[in-house]
Structure 1
């Protein structure tokens, strides 16, 4: 069985980092309820769901590193100062959420083509990490009570659910079109187990 090429991995990581950047700098979606949404978390979770925990994590980290010098964070922001602001918790959570989403999807790789499964993995990752670290940092940086910060964050739940629907549609389609994305990792793990026996 052919092992995955490091060059292919690097290209996928760079490509998904660019995708996240595009999602982040696209104009925010106006909802009419006073809470605009960006597609940034869609790109973050898609990286994990499509690439798996390691490559997904690295794609998001690469995006965050590039954002230190390029205006590719949400709203066109950039620089280290962003990490001292009220949104820093969300940025820190992004690579962790991508890794968790990728771990869950690839752990149940036989279900990676199933929309409901991928959606559940994405939503769980988002709520456990992004919607936890984000408001905790918000409470700290904006001098808010924990309850108040989490209530503020809750306004983003509907948009996050919608973005996870979109992410799951795309990721499950990607896995149907490219089954080797998940299968290669499984094959290599099995080879390692046989070699150790």
Structure 2
């Protein structure tokens, strides 16, 4: 069981890391801070929603590790080059956003309405994480003040909100097709039922 679990984890991490690398070819310049709109950030959040926080964290780490040697970031950049520029904070956020999104999503109930609500919170929590790290990066690398760094995020909100909507729909569709992705704990039997079962 443990070997199968490790092999499954490795397969998921490899597949989603590859997907994120492929999406490096999609980048749209916007704003005055030198930070483009990219699809990779949404793909990382989608990763967390689908395969969970732990695997999502591994994907983020592997992705950035590969980026130390290869230009896998949006626009053909490497991790080292990105960390030296205004996008440094967003790059660090790539590690934590799928982990946070996945941790929240994997606590969703089976009921559809509850699951949708939790996935919405999870997706935007992941996005918020990227924005927080991004703002800190802009303050450190671009010398922006707190207000300026926060204001620099505003240009991304409309497009990001649309991306999150698509991400949530895709994630919900995947979990509807593969409900066993989220390993939920079995419900505990009521005390009376447990006692009856013990004496039977």
- TM-score if structure 2 supplies the norm length? 0.82
Match of 1:66 in 2: 66
Higher helix share: 1
What is the alpha-carbon distance in structure 2 between the residues aligned to residue 57 and residue 118 of structure 1?
Answer: 17
What RMSD over aligned residues (CA atoms) do the two structures have, in Å? Answer: 2.6
Q: Tell me how far 1:27 sits from its aligned partner.
A: 3.0
Match of 1:169 in 2: 169
For the pair 1:179 / 2:179, whether they are aligned, the reply is yes
Q: Tell me how far 1:55 sits from its aligned partner.
A: 0.5
| Contact 1:106/1:182 (8 A) holds in 2 | yes
Could you list the runs of 5+ residues in structure 2 that have no partner in the other structure?
Answer: 189-200
| Contact 1:49/1:118 (8 A) holds in 2 | yes
Structure 1 segments of 4+ aligned residues over 6 angstroms from their partners: none
Query: How many residues in Structure 1 have an aligned counterpart in Structure 2?
Result: 183
Secondary structure of 1:63 counterpart: helix
What is the alpha-carbon distance in structure 2 between the residues aligned to residue 111 and residue 59 of structure 1?
Answer: 28
1:1-197 maps to which residues of 2 (within 5 A)?
5-23=5-23, 25-29=24-28, 37-110=37-110, 114-127=115-128, 129-183=129-183, 186-187=184-185
> Which deviations, in whole Å up to 9, do the C-alpha atoms of 1:5-42 show, x marking residues without a partner?
2111101001101111112x2232478xxx85221111
What is the alpha-carbon distance in structure 1 between the residues aligned to residue 136 and residue 90 of structure 2?
Answer: 9
Q: Tell me how far 1:117 sits from its aligned partner.
A: 3.2
Return closer, same or farther for 1:6/1:57 CA change in 2, 3 Å cut-off: same
- TM-score if structure 1 supplies the norm length? 0.83
Instruction: Say which one has the larger Rg.
Output: 2
